[in-house]
Amino acid sequence: MASFTITLTGHGKSELHANFFPPIQLGSSDWEAGLTSFDSYFSIPNLIENGNSTLYLLDAGTPIHDTTGQFIEASKIEKVLQKTMSDVTITITNTHHVILKTSKTLFNTSSVSVLIPLGFSQGRILTSGTTLHKGDEPLKKTWSASQKKFVYGLELPSGVQHYLYTGTMYKIPTGTYELSDLRKVIITELKKMDIDFDMQVNLNTQRCGIKCSKIIDFQHTDSFSTLLGFSPSDKMPSNTWNWSNQIVHVFSVMNIGVSVSCCQGDYRNGEPSHVIYQFTPNVAPGYRMSENPDSVTYHSVLNSDKLEEITVKVIDQDGKLIDFGGEAISIRLHFKQRAAL
C-alpha cells in the first residue's frame, strides 16, 4: 500500500477522532500526509448567548427623596422606597435580610445605588417579575435610644444622595454577525421597547460609534464591549455619540488551522505544532467554506510502523478549538509513502 486517504466528519465538533482496528500498517517506510479537502459552513458565532451577547441599558437614576443622613427602620423601608417606585415590595427575614420583588429590572452597578445599603452586593441585577431577591448582607444594626434596644434598618450616610436604577437587558441570539447585520437586529428589537439606538463604524479609524436613548452599561462580563472596541469598564451616556477607544473586533477567528495528531506540523510562534494546513475564511457568514488546495503540502508522519488512532483538531490562530455552531465538518487527509531521495 503506497497511499491511502482518511476522511473524518462531525457535526459542530472541532475535534474529530478515529480508531483503526485492525491498525493501518505503515511498515518501515517513511510516510507523509497532507490535507486534500476541508468542508463546512462559516457559522462560527461571534456572539454567544449567555457568553458575550447581552446589552445592558440603564435609565437615569431616580433619587430616594428626603433620606440623606437618615436611619430608616426595617419596618418603614418599603414605604420609603415606594415613594420612588410604587411597585417594589420589601419583606425582612428573621435574619434581617431584605427580600425584594420588583416590576422593573433594578441595576446595582452604581456606588450610590440604594440597593447597596439594603445589603445587595454591587454589580447584582434584580430582574423583574415574580422572582424574590434576597440581600447578600443583613441590614445595619444601630442602638435606638428611644426604644433602648438595637434596631435594624437602612442607613444612608449624610450628604450622599442615593438612587434606584432601573433598566433593560437585551440578549442577542447566538449567531455570526457582520456589523451591519448586528446594527439592524439591535435597532429592530430595541424599537419594540421604544428605545432609540444607532451604530456606525468609521472605516478610516476602524472605531465604532454608538448612540442610544438609554445609558449603555458595558460593565458586565457577558456584554459585547470588546467586539465593538469598547472597554469592559465603559458606561456610555445617553443621547450622544460614544466612540470606542480600540478598533472593532468583529470576528475573533482570523485563521483556521487543521492539526493532525500523527503529523509533524508547522512551527507556531517558534513552537512545534501538529498544524498541517491553515487558511483564512473568504466567504460571508452562512456560506459554505470549501478548501481544496491545488497543490497539497505534505508533512512527515511521526515515526511509527502502524496507525492505530488519529485526532484532528480545527483551531484558531491562538490554538483554541473553534465553535462551528452545530454545522457539519468534513476533512480528508491523504497519506503516502515518502519518495526516496
Asked whether residue 203 falls in the same domain as residue 151, the answer is: no
Question: Among the three residues 243, 271, 286, which one is the final residue of a domain in this structure?
Answer: 243
3-state secondary structure of 179: helix
Count the domains in the chain. Answer: 3
Other CB atoms within 10 A of residue 36 CB:
16
Cα gap 230→221, rounded to integer Å: 13
Instruction: Report CA-CA distances (Å) from 261 to 264, 271, 306, 318, 334.
Output: 8, 15, 14, 17, 14
Q: Cis link prior to 173 (omega < 30° from 0)?
A: no
Which of 173, 215, 175, 224 has the alpha carbon at shortest distance from 196?
A: 215
CA atoms within 13 A on the CB side of 300: 9
Question: Among the three residues 120, 135, 164, which one is the final residue of a domain in this structure?
Answer: 164
Cell numbers for 27, please give them: 511498515
Q: Spell out the residues 6+ positions from residue 206 whose beta carbon is closer than 8 angstroms to its own.
A: 229, 247, 248
Asked whether residue 71 falls in the same domain as residue 155, the answer is: yes
- What does the buried/exposed string (b/e) look like for 253-265 if buried means 16 or more CB atoms within 10 Å of the residue's CB? beebbbbbebbbb
Cα gap 197→189, rounded to integer Å: 10
Provide the residue range defining the domain that includes 137.
62-164
What tens-digit pLDDT sequence spans the chain (341 residues)? 689 999 999 987 899 999 999 999 988 888 999 999 999 999 989 898 888 999 999 998 889 876 667 888 898 899 888 888 888 999 999 999 999 999 999 999 888 999 999 999 998 999 998 899 999 999 999 988 888 888 999 988 888 889 999 999 999 999 989 999 999 999 999 999 999 999 999 999 999 999 999 999 998 889 999 999 998 888 899 999 999 999 998 888 889 999 999 999 998 888 899 999 999 988 888 899 999 999 999 999 987 788 999 999 999 999 999 998 889 999 999 999 987 66
Q: pTM surpassing 0.85?
A: no
Question: Among the three residues 211, 243, 275, which one is the final residue of a domain in this structure?
Answer: 243
Cα gap 176→325, rounded to integer Å: 9
Asked whether residue 181 falls in the same domain as residue 213, the answer is: yes
Asked whether residue 134 falls in the same domain as residue 215, the answer is: no
Asked whether residue 326 falls in the same domain as residue 260, the answer is: yes
Asked whether residue 156 falls in the same domain as residue 78, the answer is: yes
Q: Is residue 50 part of a domain?
A: no
Q: Is residue 53 part of a domain?
A: no
Asked whether residue 81 falls in the same domain as residue 153, the answer is: yes
Write the CATH number for 308.
2.60.120.1100
